[in-house]
Structure 1
């Protein structure tokens, strides 16, 4: 199996990856790239686990030109793609008029036959997690009944067409974000690291794909209501230090308080305050680990007036004290 990546942000240089059948490997293989054109900063990380290849794009460009990524492969694959920041559209070079879109805070499962396809990015900031695997991996994780239920996949496979298996995509909720962050920020080494990453990847795939029935409920919401909730999620993420009340958030979303609480849980899979707490803990953990904040500084930064209250909330969610992050 071969996958070729050619990015205009990397001076048009082509990255060629060769794999055994079904991405088989007995060892963990990782690499990181940070050489881009002038004005582009960040990293691209790759993680090759047994039966899966993961590519994480996390970079930003300050130039105004439109950047593209061209991907080619010689074997049909699934792509489970998560957008944490930025949106994109892509198309098969065989059918350029049929475009697939992945918006910010969304994910989708794509079936991609052996082909070449092109990505166009919609914003200067890009943070995407791309997980490639074959049918055998999906079969081992989800079972035959799940694959048989994917009518779009059966049709796309028969006709050899690129297909998005979940319509316009599913909401990337806080639970999935936490798993993504735990996967990308693994601190273990050696065999422990490989075992941890494999287990987290399985958890991520299962959680993402088993969350799909809730899409039936979210389909009952109008597009503008989904957009309003997405805007509220962005607001929460950017204002964690502030006091966030149901009244304030529902007013900004344009709902009454009872409807806001109902549709928020319907789309994100948890109550509003549980979601806010998860984001605050996640942000504080990052500040302590990556930016050497003290526990008190991090707790204030994410909206806790009392560091002891933060410590209690952190221990309840994470299972250990925030002081262990410093150790």
Structure 2
């Protein structure tokens, strides 16, 4: 049996893909001229691998290939990630898992290894992979959800799962492959589509998983979506946030349910969440800019510098003036 394995070197070196045949390694393709495009060597078939997007928290790859013989593929991942496999043409068979992925479904997994993926010989395959690094998404409103998703996927019985490919996801994949823009606008467009892909995946898949909902049996799917919407509103407006009454109207829930559900879901009250976001920003300002304590307080929405100093010390255990002087 042939074997296909992917080896990723550091960012400054060439990425290589190779096959194992009779316990020997053969170079399948490399990228000496471009890190974004690689051709498969004629010995094994025809096709290419290209990177559509590489950013700090994710990457997207486009595979198109036809192998001359049956190949068994695989990949090893060292950094925790959520991987989405979209098979637009042909079939992928995970032999050890008994899973088949065709164009009507996609594969999601959070395991560290992808082994024994079978490809049909003499058949054109088209695969799009989306790899997301949840630990680098802390500043995004969907980051907490991605952490929960990855934890659930890494459970022994949830490491690999298939999901129906919806019309919304099909549209995003088409737009990724047919980007109308050129650099540098192209990168911005692709990052936007990546975030849209993540949003659709979370909305259609993670929100509907009963194991996730069982952690909050008194909350409906719609409630959870509303609380994440509230969190997103606060993330975008924490310097000058809406009142609790105003926020409850924006997400169409009453104040009591908002207060109780937000704390249950995120482990802190709405007020505490806003204060922590403000103080984290103040800390960042002291590290990156030469500003006074009063300027920092005003920047993050405090009208009284003394109140700001008390809150800063309570959270970080040090006065803002001392923290500022240590960073100079």
Structure 2 length normalisation: TM-score? 0.48
From the CA coordinates, give the structure whose radius of gyration is larger: 2
Q: With a CA cutoff of 8 Å and minimum separation of 6, indicate the structure with the bigger relative contact order.
A: 1
TM (norm. structure 1) is 0.48
